[in-house]
Every structure is written in C-alpha cells, then in structure tokens.
Structure 1
Amino acid sequence: MRLVKDLPEIFEQFSEQKRESFLEVKKYKEAGKPVIGAYCSYFPRELAMAVGAIPVGLCSSSNDTVVIAEQTLPANICPLIKSSYGFAVSDRCPFYYFSDIVVGETTCDGKKKMYELMSDFKEVYVMELPNRQSEYGLELWKKEIIRFKEYLEEYFHIVITDEMVKDAIHLSNENRRAVQRLYGLMKLDPPPMTGKELFQILYGNKYQLDLQKVPEVLDTVRERILEEYQKNPPTGRKPRILITGCPMGGDSSKIVDVIEKHGGVVVAFENCTGIKAQDRLVDEDNPDLYAALAERYLMIGCAVMTPNDNRIELLGRTIDEFHVDGVIEMILQGCHSDSIESISVRNFIHEEKHIPYMDVVTDFSQADIAQLTVRISAFLEML
C-alpha cells in the first residue's frame, strides 16, 4: 500500500507548529494580547475569544516533566496530571508561562487537586463540570458558563456583548468544520495519508494561534492531499484502526507508530486529539447563546460522564463511516474513568459492531515499546 508521500512539507509544517507557536505567543503578549490556557475539551474557548484573548492548549504529555512533578505529587497517579504539573511548576511550557489565566475543570479528582496546588503560583479559574448529561446538568453547566463570563468581564475590565459571543461561536464552528472536512479524507479506502500524518496535522492545528486563518489553511491542505491522491491513487489495503481512550499527545503517539510499523493504518482518533473535540457544533440559531454553548460542550462524550451514551454513539458512527476493522483503546496508567469505561466500550464493539477490540495501558515513557509491539502486532495479525 502506498500512501500520499509527495507532500512531506505539509506534515513537517504541522509537526513544527507547536515550536513556532512558542515564539508567536510571546509576540502576542508583548503586543498586549491576553492569553488564556486550558487543558480540557470542555473549556468554552468562545468566551476567551470574545474578550480578545488567545485560547491555548497547555503542555501536558511529556515524560520529561513527570519526574519533576513526582518531587511533589504521588508517583501512582495519571501521567497526564504529573506531566501537566511538571510543566507548570518548572516553567517549561511557554503557553503556561504567558497565560494570564489557566482555566481548569472538575473532570477528575486528580486534576481538581492539581489545580489547588497550581493556584499557589498562577491565576487559576476552575469550572464546576456536572458529571451527568441531564437536563439538570445542562442547567448547572449553563450557569457555570455565565459565571465564567462574569469572571472574565471582571478580570479584564470588559463587557462581553452578545455580538462578541456570536462572532466567536461562528469562527469556532468554521474551524471545527474545516477540521471535519480534513479528517473526512480518512474515510477513503485506502486512506490518502497515514495515521501519523493525520495526527501531526490534528496535534499541530491545536497550536494555530491565528484562528481566523485556520479554515483556509486546513482547506488548502485538504485540497492538496486530495489532488495528489487522485493523481496517484494508493494501492493495497491495510487493517483500518480506530484509536480511542485517553487524550493523546506527542509522546503517547508511540502507539500510532507501533500500529503503522506492523501492518495497520490509523484512520480515526475518537479521543480528544481527534474527532471527539470537533464533532459537535454550537447551535448558531439558538437565541440563548449560553444555553447553546452549554449544550455543545456538555454533550462531549468523555469518560467522566455517567452514563456516557454520547461516546458510544460517536464510536459507532465513526466505526461505520471510516470503515474500521479494529479498535485499540489507549488508557493512561491511573486513569480510573477510562479504565472502568473500557468494559462498556469493549462490550459495545464486540456485541454491536462485531469487530476486534483491545486495550493498552501505558504512560508517556518509551519503556513499554517492546510489550506494545508484541501485543499490537499480534492484534493486527488476527485482523
């Protein structure tokens, strides 16, 4: 099977985007532009955009900062939390360093306690996320979003008008649609790029700070990839894999490497790195802007929700649309929510979709590469 390989500069560009944005965010700060950092897909970035701030995703997936964090935090907790705190306490993340505010959320107990410690040396605002996607939960989350809006108004001495929020909602939706259009290329069989190349684009796009340019940039990339695909169609077929589970970062992409070095191709990421964070749009026809924001964000199918029917629905739809042959779930060590929910995910994939499933428990180190290789290669051989 031959994928599109004549456009390496595109994938390299997105691979280097995070590094380039380190310098870019400094320029924004020097020009007086506020920066608001966050870790989670539940962060309503439209409100940050409405006050004229740059919303940025904070560093959270390097094994290098885990050791730093373990000088304070317990060693047996989630590596995502340890890496995040290690970056924060050591000032190794420029996005964190230049953030005026860090917005947290009550997704899991570990992160809640991390935010407590972090507030000793940074302005931290924590949103209280309901754990049920019910009418009552939606009402609570709408109030939380309004409370966050009022906090931003007071902090930045600005009045957030409905027009500001509408403009931010529209731009965010345009960005999501552009990601969806690019992502949709992987429905082609064979796909026009590898999962690693898709991951480079998705991960790098998180650090495109000029949000006005994102749709044009992604659409141009999509057109170039599709043009090359049509000109030189790939041949052959490999098992098509969907990755689900915990959020993926640079270091945890090792699973993609193992899959694609041993005969598979990753066509979809259901976790926060991929389709989960982009699948839903904010209803621009809803006159109640804060209800529209609340509904869009609360409906994200994260394992912290109980029950989590929205994740199961998204998994089923993605498996069908992307012609998935097998599912691999990545669970970070110490992530109890994803670990327990993997039982429901496995049962759904086996009993409803009738395709193979496996889970791997890992961290951000390279210590388990040999074990991952043995298990994943055996899984692919079965397919």
Structure 2
Amino acid sequence: MELIKELPEVFEEFAEQRQKSFMAMKGLKEQGVPVVGAYCTYFPAEIARAMGAVTVGLCSVSDETIPDAEKDLPKNLCPLIKSSYGFAKTDKCPFFYFSDVVVGETTCDGKKKMYEYMSDFKDVFVMELPNTQSEMALQLWKSELIRFKKYLEKKFDVEITDEAVSEAVKEENKVRKAMKELYHVMTLDPAPIKGGDLFKVLYGSGFKFDRKAIPAEIEAMREKIEKEYEEGKRLDKMPRILITGCPIGGATEKVIRAVEDNGGVVVAFENCNGAKSFDKLVDEENPDVYDALARRYLNIGCSVMTPNPNRLDLLDRLIDEFKVDGVVEMTLQACHTYNVESLSIRKFVNEKKGIPYINVETDYSQADIGQLNTRIAAFIEML
C-alpha cells in the first residue's frame, strides 16, 4: 500500500507548534494578556480562559534540566517532576518565564513537594485534588474550582462571570469533539496513518492559543485523512497497539518509535495527552457551570485516584473500538502511582480483554533505546 504523501507537512506543523508558540506568547505578553501555566490534565483551563487568559502546558518532557533539579531534589524521583522543576528553576522554559501564575494540583507526593519549592520563586496556586471520586470528593473539588476563580479575580482584578465560563466550556468542548473525531480515524483497519503522526497533533494542539481556530483545522485534517484512505493511501496491515500509562511526549516518544520501527502501529493513546484529555465533555446543559466542570475533571481516570474504575472503563472502550491486538504500558521510573497500578491494568488486559500486555519502565534518557526496541520487537513478533 502507498503511504500518505501529502499529510506529513501538516503533522510537522503541529510538531513545531511548541516552538512557534514561544514567540506567539512573547507577543501576547506585550499586549498585556495574562498567562496561566499548568502541568496536569486536571487543570480546569476554562476558568482561566473565561477571564481572557492564555493557558499553556509547562516544560516537563526533556532530561536537559534534570541535573539542575537534582541539586535540590532526590535523584530517585520521577523524571517528569525533576524535569518540570529543573526547567522552572533554570528559567529555560519560555512558557514558565511568561506565566503570571502556575497552577498545581495535589496529585502525587513528589509534585506536591515540588510546588512548595517552586513557590519560592514563582506565584503558584495549588488546587486540592481529592484522591477519590465520591460525592463528597466532588463537593470538595467544586469548592476548589470556585476558590481558583476567586484567586484569579483578586490577582488580576477582573470579574469572571458564569456566562464567560459557559462560553469557554462550549469552546473547549468543540476542541474535544474535533480531537475525538480525529483520533477516531485510527479505528480504520488497516490504519490510515502512523500513531506517531497522530501524536504530533494531539500534543501540538495544546500549544495553539487560538482555541476557536482549532476545530476547523482538525476537521480539515480528518477529512483529508479519510479522503486519502478511500483513495487507497493507507498503511499495511500490522499489529494494532494501544499505549497507556504515564504522560507521554518529548523524550518518551521513544516508546512510540519503538512500536512503529518494529512492525506495529499505535492506534490509540490512553495517556494524559491522548484519549484521557478529550474523552468526556463538560455538560453544557448543567445550570451550575462549576458543578459541570467539577464532574468532568474529577472523572478523569488517573492512577492518583483510589479506586480508579474510570481508567478501566476508558481502556475497555478503546480496546474494543480500535480493535487493539496488544497493550504497551509506559511507566516512568519512581512514578509510584502508575507503577503500583500496572498490576491491575495487566490483569484487566490479560484476563478481561484476553489480549497481551507489556509494561516498559523508562526515564528521560535515551540510553535504553536498544533495550526498548528489543523488548517491544519481541512483543510485536509474538502478536
């Protein structure tokens, strides 16, 4: 089969979006636009956007600043935390530099402590994320969203109306719908494109500040992929892989490459910047916009939640919908929440879904690429 020829430049544009956004952000700051930086999928971006702020994901996916972080933090800490802190401390992340406030959340112990240290040199607002998804937890999380709103109002001397939040909700829901429809093309068998190319779009879209423009761009890309697929431009048939586990991007994209360089195709990403981010919409019919936001964000299935049925629910649907042949879980060294939960994911995938599973534990160095290739090649060969 002929591979897609015309699309790569579109994927590359999204891959380069992060770099382009550095300059765009400088322009926004010069116009006096507030910037709110964050690290986590639980961050309720709509509240910040309702006051006209730009929201951005902060640098956390490279080993470049880890030696600087290790002067303050333990060496055997998760690389994502060390990278985040290192970029912040050295001011090597333009997004961090331009952020007026960084929003943290009480997900894991390492991050909680990192935010304490970070607040010595940056305005940090930490949201109390419950570690369960009960009705009581929902009330706490809703009150945190309102506390965040009040903090922004006071800090920036603005009023954030419910109408403005509702507008931001509608806008972001459109982005989620478009993204969901885009990655849905991977349900086609054989796959229309490589998972690595799809990932460039999923990851890069987070750095496009004009949220209103995203749905049309994504829609056009999806239509192009589907049209070219009908014309016979598609990949050969190969084992279909779902990647789950810790947040992926930057240094850890080596796991995607290890799958696709060894005869597999990644058809689904369950990670934070994959399906997890776009799966659920905020209920626009709910008259209480903070209740609607609290429900949508609290229901994200992350390993910090105990118990964590929503992650299994999403995996269950993705495995069926995308006709998955095998699951690769990528966990980061010293990420205890995901590493401990990998046992229940393995059991679920093997016993409930009846398909093979492999866990690869890694960090941000490139030293284990050979080993990753060997293990993943053997896994794909077995499929």
The residue type paired with residue 238 of structure 2 is K
Shift of 1:235: 5.7
Gap change, CA 1:335 and 1:2, over 3 Å in 2:
farther
Shift of 1:349: 0.5
Structure 1 residues without counterparts, runs of 5 or longer = none
Q: Indicate the percent of aligned positions where both proteins have the same amino acid.
A: 60
RMSD over aligned CA atoms reads 0.9
Q: What is the DSSP-based 3-state SS (H/G/I as helix, E as strand, rest coil) of the residue aligned with 2:65?
A: helix
Deviations 1:97-146, CA, capped at 9 Å, x for gaps: 00000000000000000000000000000000000000011011001111
Counterpart of 1:321 in structure 2 is: 321
8 Å CA contact 1:3, 1:191 repeated in 2:
no
Query: What is the alpha-carbon distance in structure 2 between the residues aligned to residue 311 and residue 381 of structure 1?
Result: 27
The residue type paired with residue 89 of structure 1 is K
8 Å CA contact 1:3, 1:194 repeated in 2:
no
Query: What is the alpha-carbon distance in structure 2 between the residues aligned to residue 2 and residue 108 of structure 1?
Result: 45
Counterpart of 1:257 in structure 2 is: 257
Trace 1:45-56 onto structure 2 (pairs within 5 A).
45-56=45-56
Q: What is the DSSP-based 3-state SS (H/G/I as helix, E as strand, rest coil) of the residue aligned with 2:207?
A: coil
Deviations 1:199-235, CA, capped at 9 Å, x for gaps: 1111111101111101111111111222222122426
The residue type paired with residue 185 of structure 1 is V
8 Å CA contact 1:244, 1:327 repeated in 2:
yes
Counterpart of 1:64 in structure 2 is: 64
Gap change, CA 1:125 and 1:235, over 3 Å in 2:
closer
Deviations 1:224-253, CA, capped at 9 Å, x for gaps: 222222122426310000000000111100
Q: What is the DSSP-based 3-state SS (H/G/I as helix, E as strand, rest coil) of the residue aligned with 2:131?
A: coil
Counterpart of 2:101 in structure 1 is: 101
Query: What is the alpha-carbon distance in structure 1 between the residues aligned to residue 275 and residue 240 of structure 2?
Result: 16
Counterpart of 1:312 in structure 2 is: 312
The residue type paired with residue 308 of structure 1 is N
Q: What is the DSSP-based 3-state SS (H/G/I as helix, E as strand, rest coil) of the residue aligned with 1:337?
A: helix
8 Å CA contact 1:6, 1:228 repeated in 2:
no
8 Å CA contact 2:193, 2:235 repeated in 1:
no
The residue type paired with residue 290 of structure 1 is Y
The residue type paired with residue 276 of structure 1 is K
Trace 1:16-55 onto structure 2 (pairs within 5 A).
16-55=16-55
Counterpart of 1:376 in structure 2 is: 376
Q: Give the paired residue count.
A: 383
Deviations 1:21-53, CA, capped at 9 Å, x for gaps: 010011000011000000000000000101110
Deviations 1:351-371, CA, capped at 9 Å, x for gaps: 110000000000111010111
The residue type paired with residue 269 of structure 2 is F
The residue type paired with residue 243 of structure 1 is I
Q: What is the DSSP-based 3-state SS (H/G/I as helix, E as strand, rest coil) of the residue aligned with 1:14?
A: helix
Deviations 1:280-332, CA, capped at 9 Å, x for gaps: 10000000111000000000000000000000000000000000000000000
Query: What is the alpha-carbon distance in structure 2 between the residues aligned to residue 301 and residue 146 of structure 1?
Result: 22
8 Å CA contact 2:192, 2:235 repeated in 1:
no
Query: What is the alpha-carbon distance in structure 1 between the residues aligned to residue 63 and residue 285 of structure 2?
Result: 44
Counterpart of 2:118 in structure 1 is: 118
Q: Stretches of 4+ moved more than 4 A in 1? A: none
Query: What is the alpha-carbon distance in structure 1 between the residues aligned to residue 235 and residue 39 of structure 2?
Result: 39
Counterpart of 2:291 in structure 1 is: 291
Shift of 1:193: 0.7
8 Å CA contact 2:2, 2:235 repeated in 1:
yes
Counterpart of 1:155 in structure 2 is: 155
Q: What is the DSSP-based 3-state SS (H/G/I as helix, E as strand, rest coil) of the residue aligned with 2:4?
A: coil
Counterpart of 2:202 in structure 1 is: 202
Shift of 1:2: 4.4
8 Å CA contact 1:240, 1:264 repeated in 2:
yes
Query: What is the alpha-carbon distance in structure 1 between the residues aligned to residue 169 and residue 191 of structure 2?
Result: 31
Q: What is the DSSP-based 3-state SS (H/G/I as helix, E as strand, rest coil) of the residue aligned with 2:306?
A: coil
Structure 2 residues without counterparts, runs of 5 or longer = none
Counterpart of 1:86 in structure 2 is: 86
8 Å CA contact 2:2, 2:232 repeated in 1:
no
Gap change, CA 1:218 and 1:162, over 3 Å in 2:
same
Q: TM-score, normalised by structure 1?
A: 0.99
Q: What is the DSSP-based 3-state SS (H/G/I as helix, E as strand, rest coil) of the residue aligned with 1:220?
A: helix
The residue type paired with residue 256 of structure 1 is I
Counterpart of 1:344 in structure 2 is: 344
Deviations 1:59-112, CA, capped at 9 Å, x for gaps: 101011112211211100000000000110111111110000000000000000
Query: What is the alpha-carbon distance in structure 1 between the residues aligned to residue 219 and residue 235 of structure 2?
Result: 25
The residue type paired with residue 122 of structure 1 is K
